[in-house]
Structure 1
Amino acid sequence: MFTSFIVLIILDSSFGFIKYDTGLLKVYDYEVSSFNCQNGFSKTATINFAGTFENQPQVFFYLEKIDLERAELEFKLSITTITVTSFQTLISCAKYRVYRTQIRWFAIDDQRIEVINNFNMINPDDKTFQIKNPNAQYGFLTLTSIHFTGQIDFQLSISSITTNSATVTITKVSGKFANLKQIGYQLVVGVQEAFINLGLMTPTGGFSSGALPIQTNRWFFIALQGLNYNYADNIRIETLFTNTATTLSYTFGAWQGVTETPNRHSQIWIAYQFTYSYKALECFSVRTSRREAFDLTILPPIYLELVSLNQIYTTIGNYNYIINKSVQPVNIVILLGCPNGKKVKAEFNKCNSCSTQKFYSITYNCFNKMNYVGFYPVFKQAFQQYNQLKINMQSSSLEITQVLYDQKITEQLIIKVQILNQ
């Protein structure tokens, strides 16, 4: 593959941390090392990063070259540990021989991408996974291991992604699916900017991608999603790259005189540097009210309503809520008692980029005739996104914090209301 991608690294100028790294692992290849993977053989490999990450990175990979012996073959492959300086893989071959698995790997420290591992799944079936980032609404799958006993014909697909889960399905071709005993794969999800998907390719033998324009600040990734294998020869795929200053291309050609195995794969450009940074909701107006409540004991100490979302909170506790990205602006109602001799202080996030005066700050002293206070803030988003809120409601305070998945996961306070002594 092209050398320029192997050395793509960025350093944090303050601390010397790298943000991403990539390389090619060749030790699981009989032509490169003393690799004889069959009959219960296993081998580990430790891959050192080109520098040190600030946080444990996420690592994902694809099989750039594979040669798997015909007959009943079973091999398992997984990432066993990841640290800030290296990661370790483990391969094992239960029966017949795995001649080679060259692995193109990628590591990134960025929370706009999430890697979910489903290594070595026995009795393959559809499966739903929990995801962290509500804005990770895009993704792809990449095959990592397999066990088969005859002809196979299958394809992995992401059938749905919601704000908290992703479902992976597998085709079940009659007469062939029963021969598929185990598969492993990685599910990679991310924000819209993370991936450019050029679509599904279905080569039946020799294949040429043609010239693909190189995308700035992105890796090229071949996501193997399925195989159509007739059980007549080895499973073989050898990816050969050619690149110019502006384009990339790859071929699947005849390997040792044998046409390569029909497969299904997607062409993905993956961002390792991002343009968009996710920001907290900003309050652009807030209306207030004061009135007399004849009996505060029959009212909730604090009332919170997310207007038009049918979300009302009146009980002490901690809550999580995701506001749909289509809700603009976000209108909120906060009502609370203001007992005589106390004061109410309210703060609303006004400006993410300001160094000072970041909050609207409002304070009311309480007295008998005006003992019930209302705040009606209206928030806007910097750009359309799902907004994940953590709500902490107590008898004399309310805090709403927004969780942001950017290069790091951060939490930013957007609302704080307190009942205080004067």
Structure 2
Amino acid sequence: MLEQIIFLVFVNFSYEQIKYDTGLTLVYDYIHDSFNCQNGYSKSAIIQFSGTFQNIPQVFLYHEKYDWMPAELQYTLSITTITTVSFTITTSCSKNRVYRNQLRWCALDDQRIEVLNNFDMVNPDDKTFSIKNPNAQFGFVTFTSIHYTGPIDFTLSITQITTNSVTVGITKIDGKFSNLKQIGYQVVVGVEEAFINLGLKSPTGAFSSDVLPIQINRWFVIPLQGLNYNNADNIRMQTNFTNTASTKQYNYASWNSIQTPNRHSQIWVAYQFTNSYKALECFSIRTSRKQIIDLSIVPKIYLELVSLNQIYTTVGNYNYLVNKSIMPLYMIIQSTCPNGKKIKADFNKCNSCSISKFYSFTYNCFNQMNYVGFFPKFKQAFQQYNQFKINLQASSVEIIQVLYDQQITEQTIVKLEIVDL
């Protein structure tokens, strides 16, 4: 019996479910006998998570220590596979040698953050990426790989974020940009709560950070965004941390010579959130019924997003993004109510209620009251962009809100149907 109990405990521990994880991988450091990255050498390594994610997580990484040869260096690095229990990094060195490449990685199962990959971009240039979450209006860039043939001086940065895209720019300094043949990086975007960005640092010599108060439920990351390298010695840098229970500090050091002038950011990245993105709630609704002599002259179903100049009367599926400044959101929904039919309508009232979640209406139709109107007003807990899917059919309309929270969900906030009695 005891053996059975021990086995069950072991199984439960092995498959513990996690929502976030982090670690430092040393497998791309020459202290590991199998890593001799030069002359076309390639290596793939599987990095295990400490538990099992429910969904495939987002993974990003940054360098804590590196040592790369001068003159010309070409190495590539990419995350090739991510599962719920591990991810795989593949790197190769075509020109000269990478001695050390210690990588800090972070994995997160949360849709309030999105990681976009641009590994090993040949002929570096500005690039725009599509993003899914319209509320992901903040972010940073983290450098991953490089090919240079001489002195380089560049900085990667986010130059623009909109509700559906993010643009990364790279500085182009005459006489040096042409030596940068390939660059790799990741873009991490998220909601406002996701990041506390302390700004870009540009050390040219010995560097020690301020003593920083620890932010709870956040990782401290220092993504490399650029280098100013004269091509006279190896590119070298190592990060040393001094931690207490309430503070964190780091300095950059090297060996044989000072570290390479670089540009990096100091960012606290949330792995647990307090703001939860919920569907709009209807806090006020007015209804009306009236007689229209000739129903053929009015739309069978009429939907208007008031103040947005958005009117829908034609059968079809539509997508619409409501600006975060539009609150409260006022709608007009009107429907014919033919004799022998009835109208059923539901409006999302309370996200947290276990019962009475909707304002629900049922109206029987007859000739004297054959047109029904609903005039709901919706509110939200805090300012956010609201993404709708609108499905308008001959005898129904449904408004579904797409939500990017810990998971992507869809919730109906309005549903009206013309049905038989």
Range of TM-score over shorter length? over 0.9
Matched residue SS, 1:189: strand
The one-letter amino acid of 2:238's match is E
Counterpart-to-counterpart distance in 1, 2:62 and 2:327: 40
- Determine the structure 2 residue equivalent to 1:3: none
What amino acid is aligned across from residue 288 of structure 1 in structure 2? T
Aligned to 1:280: 279
Q: How many angstroms apart in 2 are the aligned matches of 1:294 and 1:235?
A: 82
How far apart are 1:203 and its partner, in Å? 0.3
Q: Tell me, yes or no, if the aligned pair for 1:401 and 1:413 is still in contact at 8 Å.
A: yes
Report the RMSD for the aligned CA atoms in angstroms: 1.4
Residues 1:314 and 2:317 are matched in the alignment: no
Aligned to 1:178, what secondary structure does the other structure show?
Answer: helix
Shift of 1:377: 0.5
Q: Which residue of 2 aligns with 1:212?
A: 212
Q: Using the alignment, how far apart are the partners of 1:127 and 1:403 within structure 2?
A: 27
Q: Which moved more, 1:88-97 or 1:365-374?
A: 365-374
How far off its partner does 1:199 sit?
0.6
AA aligned to 1:417 is L
Q: Are the aligned partners of 1:62 and 1:105 in contact in 2 as well (CA < 8 Å)?
A: yes
Q: Which amino acid aligns with 2:106?
A: F
Equivalence for 1:37: 37
> SS where residue 153 of structure 2 aligns?
strand
CA deviation profile, 1:302-335 (whole Å, cap 9, x unmatched) = 1111111111111111111111111110000111
Query: Does the CA contact (< 8 Å) of 1:301 and 1:337 recur in 2?
Result: yes
- Structure 1 residue 375: Cα displacement: 0.9
After TM superposition, give the deviation of residue 100 of structure 1 in Å. Answer: 1.1
Distance 2:30 2:373 in 1: 73
**Could you list the per-position Cα deviations for residues 353-390 of structure 1 after superposition, in whole angstroms to 9, with x for gaps in the alignment?**
11111100111111122222111100011111111111
Q: How big is the shift at 1:38?
A: 1.1
Q: What is the aligned length?
A: 409
Amino acid at match of 2:64: E
Amino acid at match of 2:362: T
Deviation per CA, 1:221-268, whole angstroms, max 9, x where unpaired? 011111111111111111111111111111112x22211111110000
Taking the TM superposition and a 5 Å limit, the aligned residue runs for 1:333-412 are 333-412=332-411
- The correspondence of residues 106-145 of structure 1 with structure 2, limited to 5 A, is 106-145=106-145
Distance 2:33 2:61 in 1: 20
Q: Distance in 1 between matches of 2:292 and 2:71?
A: 81
Question: Counterparts of 2:391 and 2:16 in 1: how far apart (Å)?
Answer: 37
Deviation of the 1:291 alpha carbon: 2.2
CA distance, structure 1, for counterparts of residue 303 and residue 402 of structure 2: 19
- Superposed, which structure 2 residues align to 1:30-109 within 5 Å? 30-109=30-109
- Superposed displacement of residue 210, structure 1: 2.6
Return the offset for 1:16.
3.6
Shift in Å at residue 295 of structure 1? 2.6
Structure 1 stretches of 5 or more lacking a match? 1-11
8 Å contact kept, 1:281–1:380: yes
Query: Which blocks of at least 5 consecutive residues in structure 2 are unaligned?
Result: 1-11
Q: What is the TM-score normalised by the length of structure 2? A: 0.95
In the alignment, is residue 296 of structure 1 matched against residue 295 of structure 2?
A: yes
The answer to whether residue 416 in structure 2 is matched with residue 421 in structure 1 is no
Question: Is the contact made by 1:140 and 1:158 (CA closer than 8 Å) also made in structure 2?
Answer: yes
Q: Which residue of 2 aligns with 1:180?
A: 180
Equivalent residue number for residue 24 of structure 2 = 24
Question: Which aligned runs of 4 or more in structure 1 are off by greater than 3 angstroms?
Answer: none
The corresponding residue for 2:151 is 151
Structure 2 residue identity aligned to 1:372: Y
Partners of 1:295 and 1:118 lie apart in 2 by 59
Structure 2 residue identity aligned to 1:217: N
SS in 2 for 1:284: strand
Identical-residue share of aligned pairs (%): 70
Distance 2:166 2:300 in 1: 39
State the TM-score, normalized to the length of structure 1: 0.95
Cα distance per residue 1:139-184 (max 9 Å; x no partner): 0100000111111111111111111111111111111111111101
Contact 1:390–1:402 (CA under 8 A) maintained in structure 2:
yes
Q: Distance in 2 between matches of 1:402 and 1:388?
A: 6
CA positional deviation for 1:297: 2.5
Q: Secondary structure at the match of 1:373?
A: strand
Q: Distance in 1 between matches of 2:138 and 2:69?
A: 35
Preserved contact between residue 27 and residue 33 of structure 1 (Cα < 8 Å): no
2:198 aligned with 1:193, yes or no?
no
In the alignment, residue 351 of structure 1 is paired with which amino acid? Answer: C
Could you list the per-position Cα deviations for residues 7-41 of structure 1 after superposition, in whole angstroms to 9, with x for gaps in the alignment?
xxxxx99x841111111110111123331111111
**Alpha-carbon distance between aligned partners in 1 of 2:289 and 2:247, rounded to the nearest angstrom:** 65
In structure 1, C-alpha distance between the alignment counterparts of 2:309 and 2:205, rounded to whole Å: 55
2:52 match: secondary structure: coil
Q: Is the 8 A contact 1:305 1:333 kept in 2?
A: yes
Change (3 A) 1:222 1:33: farther
Structure 1 residue 89 displacement after superposition: 0.5
1:365 aligned partner, one-letter code? N
- SS for the counterpart of 1:94 is strand
Q: Residue 307 of structure 2 aligns to a residue in which SS?
A: coil
SS in 2 for 1:42: strand
The corresponding residue for 1:329 is 328
Matched residues in 2 for 1:362 and 1:295: separation?
24
User: Offset at 1:202?
Assistant: 0.3
Query: Quick check: 1:206–1:260 contact (8 Å CA) kept in 2?
Result: yes
Q: Secondary structure of 1:297's match?
A: helix
For the residue of structure 2 that corresponds to 1:193, the secondary structure is helix
SS, match of residue 32 in structure 1:
coil
Aligned letter for 2:294? D
Aligned counterparts of 1:103 and 1:264: Cα–Cα separation in 2: 17
